[in-house]
Each structure stands twice: as structure tokens, then as C-alpha cells.
A and B are shown apart, each in its own frame.
Chain A
């Protein structure tokens, strides 16, 4: 009976229509939970007792400070009723029985009940700590918030060794690994267990500390994906097992036992990914993890239709990583809820009945809505316990504001109860401490002040943060093959907020006039990182062109139509336009080799370090139109920087050069050439 209901419910709702989701859910999530419990052989058929909230039960005494958040009452009648096992007399053993192997971290993290006298840790400031060598990860920093450290149930951070997986996942591991291998096309090695790098990462994740890993590479991509997916699934299955077990006990005890083991809403984990292609892989891995002989996946066909990569293989002359970014389905508008019940996985579950939500920033943003929107919904984000940002770097190419917007709405107080049973809600959830228990996992290809700001402003994990901090080994500048003088010119903003204005003034007052005066300068590309700056420069140059008929420029941004792009490229190549305004996001999504570039100005250093060398290598003589011999010696590359750009400078210049550039305050211009 229960299964039929779920089936029909699943087919009815649509991913794109938010409003459908609520109405489509046949029963409230909690009711389903009950149906689910009936599968358990040990549970009696007495079904309503849990809902009977007004039912008068003689009040036994209640003891408060019980371990493992078990609140039990020693009413003597109930002890007799429970019969075989005496639940109340030896609770500690009891809860120990409950734990499966590997549950320890889950329990000591999520079932810890902080005392409001020393919680939350405010102000939340992470204590600095020196980097330490970590097996397979190189240098990492472990930071913790002060004060409550002593009272927190400790979770030891293992550097190596196996993480105990839920039995179901462990049983399926070989198949999961096989699926993982299939994603790495060129990789032929087959493995039957997790490699040491993966184990190391998994150990950190399993300690429920925040994890910031700005050293994502294509080689590590699948390993990282597997790790966070394993961790989320471990977490979700553990939480489900605990909840089912507790429900059974509550029923057996005739509601005299109480367990606080749930959030205000059901979604426990949120994975934010840039494109459908990554979501497809994550979900494929998940489906392998929970596969059982009798298991059933609801809506798998629809998922296949909407997420499966197209058959054609894209290939061409573009850089390799381009094809990795854009392999498969590159739709960036998606969100999907996954619900796990006994022997059943439901894809496209409504967000109030799902355990896991996988979404793109814009996909989630569209549901959250903005202040004043009539239809908006973010209650389902109120009890997220794990949030994963994979390929955070790509979000900068999409819209970073969306990510911030999502973080602003995590752990907001729900507007409605959505049928939650308040007697099961964790104390720290109702005390509004959810954000301190949320584990944030941020994976990126580089460090960035904006990511740091996000971590600082929105992450409050009371267990602290583990971050990788290896020095840059392969700076982008080493990839530059052309012999062009690379000039780094410093400007001096008064504050971080002043950077944008100072940069503009510096460019329009110093750099641009020099370029315009110099008759040798033509074919000059101005590489602009942010669209806001792009528009500002474009408007400025338009005004300039109106005053001065000799000043001509063309522009290419992500909003330029295809025909216009071709036109602009041609005019620039043939020298009909002296300047080209070129936006970074256009480059990311197209990765054209712009021909004819003889001078380049990095208005701001590129987000992706390797774009620096990639753009610079366009200045090769083979790309030029009617180049007078000897002219190649006049080519230049100029980059604007200030002291707030250290994090972007590092992967481009390398540690040593960055240090010289930044530390020599009095020296405003630095010149590098390829030797």
C-alpha cells in the first residue's frame, strides 16, 4: 500500500515547478516514515499511537541528562509492557547496542547536546594554527574555534586508515569504484578499494570538520567526488538507521521514550554543483552505493532523459580542460531531491520529503527567490547538516551572488512546520544553533578572497576547519612560451572596498593614455575579469570614442551575439580596431584563440591562473596578420595588481615572485620575461 502511494507521488511532480512539489507529495514526509517502519519486522501494527499527541499518558518521572539524548521515563507500567528488553534500566548499554560500527563520529557530533551556558561559541573566531604535514595531502591547517573545545565530545582526526562505511555501501563498494573508473576515461587502472588519498580525505570529512580544499585538479576530481558522495551517503543512511531504530523504540515503549534525532525539515545534505554533468555522476555513484537486489529506483527514466550525457563526443582544438568542463550535459539550471527509504530510492522527491538535494546555484536560487517575491521557498534549507560546494571555481564563471544567496538562506527559521514532529527535533535545531553543526565542504581549483570571505561569514562549524595549504608548485607564468615582457604594475587602493574604483582610475588615467599615445601599440586586448568592470570600461571607452574619432575599439563579452563576436574578432585581427575589450567569462565558455593580439592588458588578473599563460601565448607570431618583421619585439603584456591580489598572484607568479612583487612596496613596476 505504502509503495503504491510513493510511486504515484513521484511521477506526478516536476523538477522545474516548485509549487507542484508540495501538493504532489501524497502524504507528509513523516507519514511516509511511518509506512516505512512497517517494513520492519519487529514493529507492531499498532499504527496511530505516535500521532496521538493529545492522548493522556500517566506521567512518569523524567530524567534530563541522559546520555545520547535519550529522554526516558521510568514509569513502571511501561517497563512491564516493553517486556523482553528493559529499555529504561540500562540505557547506556542499550544505546551502545544501537551503534553500528563507524557510527561513533556521527553520534558524538550530531547527538551532542550543547549546554546554552557555553554555547554557541561567540564570537566565532578560528584560532590560527601552523600548517602540518599530512599523509597524501601535503600541508594542511587544522583550526578550531576557542572556548568550547574542552566541552565538545572529541572526534579524533585520523590521518590514515579506513573509514568504516555503512554496510550497504561497503557491500557495493566494488561496483561504486567501477562506476568511478568509468568516468575517468583514460584511466585503465582498476581498483578494488579506496586509494590512500581518498581514505585520507574521507577521514577528514568523517570528523565532521569543515573542509576547504583549494587544490582541486582534474586528476583528483573523481576521487574528491567519490569522497564527498560517500560521506553524504554514510551520513544519510546512518541518520535513517538511527531514526528508524528510535521510532521502533518509541512505539514499543508506548511513547514514553523520547529521542531527538531529526531536524526541522528532512533534507540533511546539500550538494551544489555547476553543471548537470557533475550531478549525473554524483547520482550515478549514489545509485550504485544503495543498490540492493530488491531495491527500486523511482523516476530513473526521467533522470536518464534529463541528465544523461549526449552521445556525441565533443572534440576540437581547444584546451583539454575545456572538454572536461563541458563534457556531457552542461545545463546549469537544475535541482533534484533524493529520498532514501527502505529498499527504495526516489529521484525528484519533493524537497520536504527528500534527504539530499543536488542543485546548481541558479537552480536553487530560483526556488529561494528574493525578498518580496510572492512565491519563494527556503524552509527546506533549515536543517542542512552537510553542504558541499564542488568545483567552486566554476561558480565564479556562473554567478557567485547565487552561492552567497544560498548560504544566506541556510538555517533560516522555517515559516511553517511542514508536519514536523517537534518531539523528535534536535534541541540544537530548535535553539537555532543549526549553523554551528553544519559541515561545510568547499572544493575549488584555487584560493580566492571571495571563497575566504564566504567561509568566514557563513561557516560556523563548532568543530573547526581543515584546509589544505600547499605552496604553488607549478605557476602559470612558467607555461608562457612567448618572449614578451610581462609588466606588473601596482596601484594603491586605500581599502579593500576602494579596489574597484582605484583600479578603474589607475587604468583610465595611467595605462590607457600611455597605450593610446604610443603609435606602436595596436591590436591591444584588454582582459576584464568581472562583468561589472567590463560595462564600466565599455561605457568609458564609448564616451572616449564619441569625443575622439580616431579612437576605435571592439568588445566581446558573454552577452555578445555569435555574429558580433566573429565580426569583432575579424576587425581586431585585421587591425581595424586598436582595442578589444574581452571578458573572462566569455573566454571560459568559449576558449577561442583570439588571433592578432600583440598587446594585452590584464585589467585584473584572471580567476583561473592558467588563463594567464593561455592568453599570453596568443601573442605568438604565428597568430598575426601582416606582421612587419622585428615588430614582435614591441609586444607587451601588462597586469594591474594591488596588495589585495596576493591570492590570485600566487598561482600565476609562484610563491617566490609573488613575495618580491608584494613586499617591495616602493617598487611599483615589476618586469618578468621568459628566459
Chain B
């Protein structure tokens, strides 16, 4: 398990004595043991330096251990992975069956993070897990599934692929189903897949935990379809953003967005940033531009291969890069520590995404900043966001003069970036062409030689 996420977990689980406004704080001395977690797992938590359970863990674990279904409203970073992982592991200890639990998540990154937690908690007791997500060879995954891991962590699309095409793989012995970030799963049009999965796993004798950051109509429908007599566990009020989060907006003409971004990054230099863009291309272009200006920026978007994405994330986590340019792929579910500032370079089109985006900062009791760029085209979208969070945000103060000084340099950097983008494109096309030509050459060379050898090595007389 990466050290960085360990840090994160520790932070989440530390007693939050600094939060004077939390009424629970005074008696926040509950231990995992008191929640009913068995000793082996308490030791595993101890080994991960988790001393006290987080709020959601305190709420959910005892209920889960009673064998009830749970509907949990909690955000990323609240420690909910452990809230469902611990009860599942405990059940596995009693009855070590294979293909025992299935965790559905919306994104690949999230799936890997959950698996890291399962590995960390379950390795001492020999629990095996498998991550089944897109972008990885089906055959490799089929073999992983054939090994019958205890826990499968999957994105719905790829799991359905295996249920339909991997002969001999069934979930008919499944005992635990977790739908993590259910609202997100449903928003990503996985509704049909989830329904299919629900049809092929046993209904009776199955525990189901449904976690979601928001309670939408679709989630409610899913709840009715999958849960029996659930207990509702809620740790934060709906749509409320954390108090430690300072949110601002910046109303600027669209053509000055780049300059303002650079200015902002300079202004807050030394901190870590996530900059949200609307498109993959946008992240790429901004990353090149920022690099030209000497920033350590790294893009993360859906067109990158899985390995590259994990690599980018790792670099950011390790603080080798301090600016992450992400599309909404990365908007949620990523366990990224050290984010000090969230910049909404492009305003989110779904206002709920705003909550998720800014949820990347001011986590675990720390403070954070969020700045949303609002251009002349974004006013309506911005108003919706204000409506959703129920408050009006202050303006982020900048000195126009200071910003415009940068303009020339930024424009130059942009020109370079555009050129680099073109070159990249050309190279991609070229390499494709070249590869084809190479193949042809090789074939032409090999074929006659091989034939001759065969003919000649044959015995003649």
C-alpha cells in the first residue's frame, strides 16, 4: 500500500480535537474494539495507525455487524471504505468463502484504492481481492477471477463483460454487495449494468451496503431494488460544504482565463492544486502551457491509458508534481492528500459535480481554498451552483494590473503549447505509419529466408 494513502487514512482517523464546533469531539474516544470489531482486525487497524474510528465508521460498523443492510450518505474522504471493509472482513473470518463480496465503484482509480485498503486490512488474515476494471486484458482478469478471490472490486461495465463472457465465472455464492458512490455509478449510465448484476447475484442471504454522496431519485430507486430494510447512516448534511473550505469565484472574460490561472498559481505558489477542465484536450494544452512557464503540471484524463493514469496520480501523490490538471474522471473518488487549492478552470456543467470537485480540499479537518472561474458564458451555471450550496460566494480579489503584466509571456507559452500539441499529433500519426512500414519490411525479409531454411534442412538424397 502506498505510503501516501496510509497518511491519508491516518489523518481521517485521528481524533479531531481541533474542531471545536463538533459536539461529538469531547467524547471521541471510541475504539474499533468497542464498535464490535474483532481483535485481529483491530490489530490490522492498529498497524495502519488508525486509532479511533471516523464518524461514518462509528455509525456504520455496529449496524453492519448486526447484519443489517445500510444506506450511507457520506462523502469521499470520510473513511467509508473501512466502514464497509471491516464488517466484510469480519464476516469472512467467520466463514472464509471465496467470491464472497463484491464492491461496485464508478471509476478504475477508486477501485484500485479500495483494493489497497482491503489488502492492507486483510493481508494478515490471508484475504485475496481482485480488481476488475476496464482497460486491462480480459484474459488476465479471467484468470484472476478463476483463482476465486474473496473480494471482487469492480466497475459495473467490465464485471458484466465477465459475467457474460467468462465461462465458469458466477457470483452465485455472493454474500456481500457494496455499491460505492452509487449516485456516480448511476450518473455514468451504469444503471442497466447494475440491474443486470442484481439479477445474477443471490437475493436471499445477501447483505447490501449502498453508499452515496448525494441522495438522488435514481439512488432511491436503486435502494428500493437492492436493499432490504436498510438502516440509514448519515454523517454530513446534504450538499453542505465543509466550513474550513474557503470558496471564491472569479468573474473574468473567457479570453483571460489562462492569464488568470497563471496568476493564481503564482499567487498561491508552494501549495498543491487540482485544476478542473472540461475536456481531455484542455488538460493537455494547459499542462503544456504551464510547463512552458516552468510549473510542474501533470494532466489526468480519460484518454490516458490506465497505467499512465496511475502513474500520473502516483507522481502527484509523491509530490513530484504539484499541479494536477484533471477532467471530471478524476473529480471524485480519488484519494489525493495534500490538495490545498481546487481551481474550477471550467465551470462544472452539473452543479452537483461542484460539490465533488471542491470536496477534494479542506478534508480531514484541514483548511482549503476553492476558486471557480466564471466567464461571461457561465453565469447561469454559476447561479445554479450558488442555489445548490445555498450561499453566495465572495469574489476572489485580484489586481487587474498585476495580472495583465503576465499576458505577453502567457501568450507566448500558449503559442508553444499549440505547436507542441500539433507535433504530438503528427508524431502519433507518423508512428502509426512507420510501424506499418516496418511490419511490411520484416515480412518481406523473413519469409523467403524461413522457407529456404525449411527446404534445405530437409534431408535430400
Contact = CB atoms under 8 A, between A and B. Distances in A.
Please say whether chains A and B are actual partners in one complex. yes
Interface of A: 30, 51, 53-62, 64, 73, 264, 326, 330-333, 362, 366, 370, 372, 374, 398-399, 413-417, 419-425, 427, 430-432, 558-559, 562, 589-590
A35 B453 CA distance: 43
B139 A59 contact: no
Interface string B40-62: 00000000000000000000000
Contacts, number: 113
Interface of B: 95-98, 138-140, 142-147, 163-170, 172-175, 199-205, 439, 442-443, 446, 450, 453-454, 456-461
A535 to B, nearest CB: 14
B98 A589 contact: no
A34 to B, nearest CB: 12
A558 B457 contact: yes
A77 to B, nearest CB: 13
Given A56-B201, A59-B205, A62-B97, A590 B461 contact: yes
Nearest to A65: B96
A558 B453 CA distance: 10
Contacts of A56: 172, 199-203
B457 A399 contact: yes
A257 to B, nearest CB: 13
B408 to A, nearest CB: 50
A372 B442 CA distance: 9
Contact of B458 (A60, A62, A331, A417): A331
Q: Which of B144, B164, B457 has the most CB of A within 10 A?
A: B457
Contacts of B95: 61
Contacts of B166: 417, 422
B440 to A, nearest CB: 11
Given A53-B169, A590-B461, A431 B163 contact: no
B70 to A, nearest CB: 21
Given A57-B172, A333-B454, A64 B98 contact: yes
Contacts of B458: 330-333
B461 A413 contact: no
B139 A58 contact: no
Contact of B147 (A53, A54, A431): A431
B401 to A, nearest CB: 60
Nearest to B461: A590
Contacts of A413: 139-140, 143
A420 B97 CA distance: 23
Contact of B139 (A330, A362, A417): A417
Contacts of B173: 59-60, 62, 73
B167 A58 contact: no
A589 B459 contact: yes
16 contacts: A53-B167, A56-B172, A59-B175, A64-B96, A64-B98, A73-B173, A362-B454, A417-B139, A420-B167, A424-B168, A425-B146, A430-B143, A430-B146, A559-B456, A562-B460, A589-B461
A60 B175 CA distance: 10
A416 B461 CA distance: 44
B168 A420 contact: yes
Contacts of B204: 58
Name the 5 nearest CB pairs between A and B, nearest first: A423-B168, A422-B168, A421-B168, A422-B146, A430-B146
Contact of B202 (A59, A330, A398, A590): A59
A64 B172 CA distance: 16
A423 B97 contact: no
Interface centre among A331, A399, A423, A562 (most CB of B within 10 A): A423
Contacts of B98: 62, 64
Nearest to B165: A417
Contacts of B453: 399
Contacts of B461: 326, 589-590
A425 to B, nearest CB: 5
A422 B201 contact: no
Given A30-B167, A59-B202, A422-B142, 11 more contacts: A54-B199, A54-B200, A56-B203, A58-B205, A59-B205, A326-B459, A362-B454, A413-B140, A423-B146, A427-B147, A431-B147
A326 B458 CA distance: 11
